[in-house]
Structures are given as C-alpha cells and as structure tokens.
Amino acid sequence: MPTAIDTIGFIGLGVMGEPMCGHLARRSGKTVLAYDLNPAPLGRLAEHGVAAALPHELAARCQVILFSLPDGKAMQAVVAELEPHLKPGQCIVDTSTSSVAATREIGARLEAKGVLFADAPVARTREAASKGELSIMVGASDSTFAYVRAILETMGSDVSHCGPIGCGQVVKILNNMLVFQHTAALAEAIALGRRNGVPADKLLPIMAMGSGDSFVLRNHGLKSMVPRVYPERAFSVRYSIKDLSYALEMADAAGLDLPAARLTMERLREAEKQGHGDQYHPVVLEVIDPQ
C-alpha cells in the first residue's frame, strides 16, 4: 500500500524540470527535495523552499520521487541508482519522454518489488511549464494515478490518465510525432508561398483564420518560423530526433511502415548535420526553405 505523502523528491532540473519543481514546492504543501548535477537551479529553487539532496537521500526520505530527465537512457541510469534503496509503498513518477518498451520493463520490475510506478511525460512549451499549464499524460494503474494526480496537478492544467504503464509515453510520443510532421508540412507551405509571392508573415495569419489553423501554426509557425528565430534551451532538434526515434521504434515493433514520420526524421537529421542540433526544432524550415 502507498504511504501518506509528506516529502516529495525531484530529479532533473533542466528547462522543464526547474519550473515544474518550483510549482510543486509552491502549490503542494509538501516538503520538496531535489537533485541535479548543475547547482544553479538548486540555488534558484531554494528561494521556494526546495532543499538539495543526493539521490540515495531522496530514496530514504521521499514517498514519491519524480524525474525530469533528457532521455530514456538517463531515466534508466537514475532508476538503477535508486532501485537498491527503494522500499515497498514508494512511488516513482517519470515525467521524461522515454522508450515505451523500456518504460514497461522498468515499471514491471519495480511493481514486482512493491514500488509503484507511473510514466507521466509532459507536453506543451517551456512557457507552459513556467505557468504550470502543462498537459501531462499518465500511464499507471487506476490506484497509482489516483495517488499521484494531485501532485501532477500542481504542474499541469490537464492531467490525463491514458491507461496502464507505458500508455502515457505512447500518447506523448505520438503527440510529438504529429507536431514534428506538422512543422515540416508548415515549412513546405512557407517555402511554396514565398516562391509564389506570399511571404510567411502574411500567409500564416491568414491561414490561422481558416481550416488550416492549428496549435503548431500559431506557436511554432508564427512565433518561430515567421521571424526565423530558433532559440536554444527550447525543444531542440536533438530532442526531436530522440522522441521521433521512439515513435519509429514503436512502428517497427508493430510492423508498421510510417513513411511520413521517416521523411520527417530525415529532415531533422539534416538539420542536425547542418549545425542546428541545439536549436528549437522549427529550424527544420532552414532545411526545406533555405534563404
């Protein structure tokens, strides 16, 4: 049985993790301990009552431990470090985006030891993370979802139970697959429009009033692709390649051919090859419509 929650741990204080941990500390009413290799976010979060602790200390003191890590390999490494110290009734919540197969293997292994597990990857932008308005997609048993839901609602405005362990990752990965494909399609429209006398700053606002409107058009398109500004410390080309590789891994396991997703991967890899790997992923426009 899970224990009452009075102390929560958080591992990984990067672009998304730092604001998520901050909201958790301010809104949960619980003691929050955190760990990151970089001391800078720990210093900033101390102002909100977050105390620094090492991973084994989190395992000893926290009923729930959340991760926000760069990829599945990092998640597996942290689980391996924590696992010898975890006790039945504790709960691990992975808000990173990780391989579905690896997520399900780790979840089954931990739950066999009495440790609860939920995959809860997050969607939307860095701005949404700073506002506490993320969409959080949860894969867990009904009882585990009920146990962690209030915690996740401190960081997200939409917390959805997608099914058992791994299903949160499925939904998040497919969401991102569509975003990357849509961004590439938008780049094609921008390229074709520009070559036919309609620049992007006119094309996209008008399309936003028609049936071609979308979240991607209004955010990735208008805010990044029209001004051709692709900041770092946003969702980069490298992160996009990582997430899309998980979708293609799922496709291979299911015996499905996804040619549109594979073409999008080619364009992302070309963007990385051209030196854009650390830039915001709408930089794929520079591959499709170089100026």
Contact 44, 100 (CB under 8 A): no
Task: Look up the pTM and report it.
Answer: 0.94
What are the φ and ψ backbone dihedral angles of 163, each rounded to 5 degrees?
140, -165
Contact 139, 118 (CB under 8 A): yes
Smallest CA-to-CA distance from 14 within 281, 235, 172, 164 is with 235
The fold of 7-164 is Rossmann fold (3.40.50)
Where are the CATH 3.40.50.720 domain residues in the chain? 7-164
The superfamily in CATH containing domain 170-288 is N-(1-d-carboxylethyl)-l-norvaline Dehydrogenase; domain 2 (1.10.1040.10)
Q: What is the pLDDT along the chain (291 residues), one digit of tens a residue?
A: 677 899 999 999 998 999 999 999 999 999 999 999 999 999 999 999 999 999 999 999 999 999 999 999 999 999 999 999 999 999 999 999 999 999 999 999 999 999 999 999 999 888 899 999 999 999 999 999 999 999 999 999 999 999 999 999 999 999 999 999 999 999 999 999 999 999 999 999 999 999 999 999 999 999 999 999 999 988 999 999 999 999 999 999 999 999 999 999 999 999 999 999 999 999 999 999 998
Contact 67, 96 (CB under 8 A): yes
Please tell me the distance from the alpha carbon of residue 173 to that of residue 101, in angstroms, as a whole number.
12
Q: Which one of the listed residues 30, 73, 172, 223 is annotated catalytic?
A: 172
Contact 111, 138 (CB under 8 A): no
Contact 12, 36 (CB under 8 A): yes
Where are the CATH 1.10.1040.10 domain residues in the chain? 170-288
Please indicate whether residue 223 is annotated as part of the active site. no
